[in-house]
Structure 1
Amino acid sequence: MPSSVPGFAELLGRCERSAVHLELRDSYAPTERFDAWKRGERIDWEDRASWWHPYDQLIADTVARGVVIRRARIVSEPVSEYIRWEHYVTRANVTAGEEVRWLPRRRAAATALPGNDFWLFDGAVLRVHHFSGDGVVVEDEITKDPDLVKLCSAAFEAVWERAVPHHLYDI
């Protein structure tokens, strides 16, 4: 049965001004790239063709259209192995044009947060990720509910204000 939820590329393609992404988990479902990193394999950042993915190109194309893309991650410290890997591969996100910040969870205590990771497009369309306990996305929900959009927008901005820019966040 086909999903009625628009794909990420479609939502980003409709975006005109901004896309923000808030991540709240300390781990997500393992991927081959994560497993390779755990085996000691490292990215040759000088060989862009070896690591540049369609996602990176989508972000670069969107930023080139004038859309500002910001990602904030709330993380427990000491960080999990997964977050250590995410920090390592974030170089690709930044190269593609995303602005990325990290907020230690202990500094988020006074922030009202939604219960799920989300993307917010142009401050109006919200894509909420619902995960299983082991970090697999089981459903994405699209909503324009003004109260939920307002809550998520305010949460993101509060996190962004307190968070540390990627290049300054040492793990």
Structure 2
Amino acid sequence: MPSNAPTAFADLLAKCERSALHLEMRDVYAVDKEKGPFAEWQAGFRPDPTDRATWWRPWLDLVAETVGRGVVIRRARIVSEPVSEYIRYEHSGTFTNIAAGEQVRWLPRRQASDISLPGNDFWLFDDRLVRWNHFGGDGSSQGPEHTTDSTAVKLCGKAFEAVWDRGIPHDQYDIR
């Protein structure tokens, strides 16, 4: 059943036992927390691979702790090509996600045309709970929604695995 009960994302990962899957399908996000870092990236800032203290916190600490408990975190991104400036930004910083323990793949949108996809980005936790990420037309976050509905869980699981199977591992995806 859909629920808008405020569940902190960190709590969802803390309860996760096996897997957390994230499918991203937008070419631009205007999430408030990312406006500063995106603007800094546009101005030339790049995270230093040797200086973990400059990386995105507390997200990466949360990922590392979760992966350390044995949970597999996989992220797949469906992207239009040529990629948007925002996707270039995400791609340039994804090494930090991988260093924290996430597995990341990229799928050109043209290769996803015959995959049945849900209408929103999502997280799927332990094949039991979906957290929809709703966005406005301008890319702004419109808040999450949670469901344990078996139809939604199955759709998300199948969609994610289809994208993952076709996806290109981060270290092999050339955005040029």
Please give the range of the TM-score, normalised by the shorter of the 2 chains: over 0.9
Equivalent position of 2:48 in the other structure: 44
The count of aligned residue pairs is: 169
Amino acid at match of 1:26: D
Identity over aligned pairs, percent: 60
Distance apart, 1:40 and its partner CA:
1.2
Equivalent position of 1:156 in the other structure: 160
Equivalent position of 2:28 in the other structure: 27
In the alignment, structure 1 residue 125 sits paired with structure 2 residue 134: no
Amino acid at match of 1:132: G
CA distance in structure 2 between the partners assigned to 1:157 and 1:27 by the alignment: 23
Is the contact made by 1:5 and 1:142 (CA closer than 8 Å) also made in structure 2? no
Distance apart, 1:128 and its partner CA:
0.3
Equivalent position of 2:112 in the other structure: 108
CA distance in structure 2 between the partners assigned to 1:53 and 1:164 by the alignment: 26
CA distance in structure 2 between the partners assigned to 1:19 and 1:72 by the alignment: 11
* Residue pairs, 1:50-129, within 5 angstroms: 50-129=54-133
Matched position secondary structure for 2:23: strand
Tell which has more relative contact order, 1 or 2 (C-alpha 8 A, sep 6+): 2
Amino acid at match of 1:16: E
Matched position secondary structure for 2:86: helix
Distance apart, 1:65 and its partner CA:
0.2
Distance apart, 1:52 and its partner CA:
4.7
Instruction: Give unpaired runs (5+ residues) of structure 2.
Output: none
Q: CA RMSD in A?
A: 1.0
CA distance in structure 1 between the partners assigned to 2:152 and 2:124 by the alignment: 11
Distance apart, 1:95 and its partner CA:
0.5
Equivalent position of 1:6 in the other structure: 7
CA distance in structure 1 between the partners assigned to 2:47 and 2:120 by the alignment: 30
Distance apart, 1:163 and its partner CA:
0.4
CA distance in structure 2 between the partners assigned to 1:97 and 1:162 by the alignment: 21
Q: Deviations over 1:112-138 (max 9, x none)?
A: 000100000000010001101111111
Amino acid at match of 2:11: E
Equivalent position of 1:170 in the other structure: 174
Over 4 Å off, 4+ runs:
none
CA distance in structure 2 between the partners assigned to 1:48 and 1:139 by the alignment: 29
In the alignment, structure 1 residue 147 sits paired with structure 2 residue 151: yes
